[in-house]
């Protein structure tokens, strides 16, 4: 697995920690019970319940491993006010040729959600904004071509 830092807000870190605890303390027991029940149904080679329980087990263990890795390499970010754009900042931008400003919070990859206005620091726009200040011009690549914008404010 990757040794790369995982940038997370305190809230996201706590959410992932709770999910990991649930998977280890509750979900594993549920799956073990499913497996025991399915084994009691007879021939495992044609036992759909058994194969489903094994699939659930594999998915849960994969998620546990991913969460453990993310938590191990987590860097907790804080919201910033003003200054240069960093992870945790909110940047308000104005694209060239548009009248409406757009607001984006820069977050780590795990928290990115464009519907909520959260973009990854590794996204094209996120990378372009990192380190920029109010008034700076920014260009970045999209599937539709190069986009230019101005940083209106950094919060």
pLDDT of residue 2: 55
Is the Cβ–Cβ distance between 8 and 76 less than 8 Å? yes
pLDDT digits (tens, 9 = 90+) for 12-68: 999 999 999 999 999 999 999 999 999 998 888 888 999 999 999 999 999 999 999
Average pLDDT, the chain: 93
d(CA 128, CA 126): 5
d(CA 95, CA 8): 27
Q: Picking from 28-42, 56-70, 73-87, 107-121, which range would have the lowest pLDDT averaged per residue?
A: 73-87
Report the percent of the chain where pLDDT is more than 90: 82
Is the Cβ–Cβ distance between 87 and 7 less than 8 Å? yes
d(CA 79, CA 73): 19
Exposed/middle/buried for residue 76 (C-beta within 10 Å: 0-12, 13-18, 19+): middle
Instruction: Kindly state the DSSP code that residue 113 receives in the 8-state scheme.
Output: B
Instruction: Kindly state the DSSP code that residue 155 receives in the 8-state scheme.
Output: -
Please tell me whether residue 18 adopts helix, strand or coil conformation: helix
- Taken in order of first residue, the domains within the chain and their CATH numbers are 6-76 (1.10.287.180), 79-154 (3.10.50.30)
Tell me what the mean pLDDT of segment 77-94 comes to: 87
């Amino acid at each position: 697995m990757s040794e790369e830092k995982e940038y997370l807000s305190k809230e996201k870190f706590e959410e992932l920690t709770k999910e990991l605890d649930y998977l280890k303390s509750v979900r594993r027991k549920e799956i073990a019970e499913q497996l025991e029940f399915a084994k009691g149904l007879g021939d495992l080679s044609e036992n759909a319940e058994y194969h489903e329980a094994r699939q659930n087990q594999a998915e849960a263990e994969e998620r546990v491993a991913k969460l453990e890795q993310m938590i191990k390499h987590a860097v907790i970010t804080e919201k910033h006010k003003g200054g240069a754009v960093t992870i945790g900042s909110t940047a308000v931008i104005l694209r060239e040729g548009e009248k409406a400003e757009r607001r984006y919070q820069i977050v780590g990859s795990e928290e990115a959600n464009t519907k909520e206005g959260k973009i990854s620091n590794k996204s094209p726009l996120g990378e372009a904004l990192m380190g920029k200040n109010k008034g700076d011009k920014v260009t970045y690549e999209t599937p539709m071509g190069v986009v230019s914008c101005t940083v209106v404010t950094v919060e």
